[in-house]
Amino acid sequence: MILYTPPDGCLSLSETLDCGQAFRWKPVPDGRAAFCGTAFGHTLTVSQADNDFCFDCTKTEFEKIWFPYFDFSTDYARIRETVAALHPLLADAARFAPGIRILRQEPWEALCAFIISQNNNIARIKGIMARLCALFGTHNGADFTFPTPARLAACTAEDLAPLRAGFRAKYLIDAAKRVDIGGLDLESLRTLPLPQAREAMQTVLGVGPKVAECALLYGLHRTECFPLDVWMKRAMTHLPGVKIEDFGENAGFAQQYIFHYARMHPALFR
DNA sequence: GCCCAGGTATAAA
DNA sequence: TTTATACATGGG
């Protein structure tokens, strides 16, 4: 059991784990403000008590898995200030959910999650992700892990029918094949120049500009990425004079603040 | 029942 | 090069 307080004072479990960036964290029914989820093969229950966060894991596991996963080495207080300074509406968005952090998720899982996300809603994305793990992942004693590329690459579209992922099933299989034996090295995209990284992502069937941007942001922490989904397009019309280039290295953070704010306040964005 | 969802592939203009 | 349409499914 590890007690930890982020040095920047920024973390809300609900804002971070249920803001549309990750789809496999669930509130613990009987716990207060606790969440349970799985990443990198490890399952964690995390809860909050005042300013402390309680991580139900060993010190080693916290240091190797969860500290980087929650991006605790980044100063989110400073990022919020920088984003908020660009426009009053951005200040509102950053103030609305000040506990958002951009998780450092597994590249392969993030790619699959946002392939599934296309023309889909968040509640249903969560369901498909849960079935994907239950059917093709392995059980670690507490939860199902995310299936490996090799496991999905061995599947046919009919095999994936129980997911009820619709037309996205064939996209998942193509992604799996590219990553498994097709020469697509997701880790290499962590440092590849962004235009080439985007191009590489989009070699996967079903991965266009938006999914590529999400996979790079959430899976490889390319924070200069700025996914333009339907909500963001609406939001941008309310940010006259603000250009995506203005966000620079903070684009991904800004996008997540705006996305969450817009989704929670649909009336403000037409 | 209807509308639409963290879009993209494909065809047509 | 830009614009239109199909796509599978189900949450609200």
Please report how many Cα atoms fall inside a 13 Å half-sphere around the Cα of residue A156, on the Cβ side. Answer: 1
Active site residue A233: no
pLDDT tens-place values along chain A, 270 residues long: 999 999 999 999 999 999 999 999 999 987 778 999 999 999 999 999 988 999 999 999 999 999 999 999 999 999 999 999 999 999 999 999 999 999 999 999 999 999 999 999 999 999 999 999 999 999 999 999 999 999 999 999 999 999 999 999 999 999 999 999 999 999 999 999 999 999 999 999 999 999 999 999 999 999 999 999 888 888 888 998 899 999 999 999 999 999 999 999 999 987
pLDDT at A231: 85
* Distance, Å, A164 CA → C8 C1': 8
**Across-strand partners of A139?**
A144
Token readout for A268 is 């403000």
Whether any strand C atom is under 7 angstroms from the Cβ of A31: the reply reads no
Is strand C in 7 Å reach of the CB of A158? no
- For residue A211, say whether its CB is under 7 Å from any atom of strand B: yes
Q: What is the pLDDT of residue A234?
A: 85
CA-to-C1' span, A209 to C2 (A): 17
CA dist., res. A15 & res. A96, Å (int):
10
Integer CA distances (angstroms), A105 to A42, A86, A218, in order: 12, 28, 6
The confidence score (pLDDT) of residue A32 equals: 74
Residues A219 and A186 sit within 8 Å (Cβ to Cβ): yes
C-alpha closest to that of A160 among A148, A172, A149: A172
Q: In what order do the strands lie in the sheet containing A52-55?
A: A2-4, A52-55, A42-49, A35-39, A26-27
How many other C-beta atoms are found inside a 10 Å radius of the C-beta of residue A40?
A: 16
Assigned token pair, A149: 């590329």
pLDDT confidence of residue A171: 98
Q: Which of A26, A210, A233, A243 is catalytic?
A: A210
pTM exceeds 0.85: yes
pLDDT reported for residue A47: 96
CA atoms within 13 A on the CB side of A220: 24
Distance CA A80, CA A90 (A): 9
The pLDDT, as a whole number, for residue A269 is: 86
In the prediction, which pLDDT does A13 show?
97
Residue nearest to nucleotide C7 (CA to C1'): A167
DSSP state of A217: I
CA–C1' A261–C2 (A):
32
pLDDT score, position A133 = 98
Nucleotides of C under 7 A from a protein CB: 7-12
The confidence score (pLDDT) of residue A65 equals 98
**Residue A234 CB closer than 7 angstroms to strand B?**
no
- H-type helices in A97-225, by residue range? 107-116, 122-136, 149-153, 169-180, 194-201, 209-214, 220
Torsion angle of the four alpha carbons A160, A165, A168, A170, in this order, in degrees rounded to the nearest 10: 10
Query: Does nucleic acid strand C have an atom less than 7 angstroms from the CB of A263?
Result: no
Residues A220-242 as b/e (b if ≥16 CB within 10 A, e otherwise) read bbbbebbbebebbebbbeebeeb
Evaluate if the CB of A164 falls below 7 Å from strand C.
yes
Let me know: does A101 contact A71? Beta carbons within 8 Å.
yes
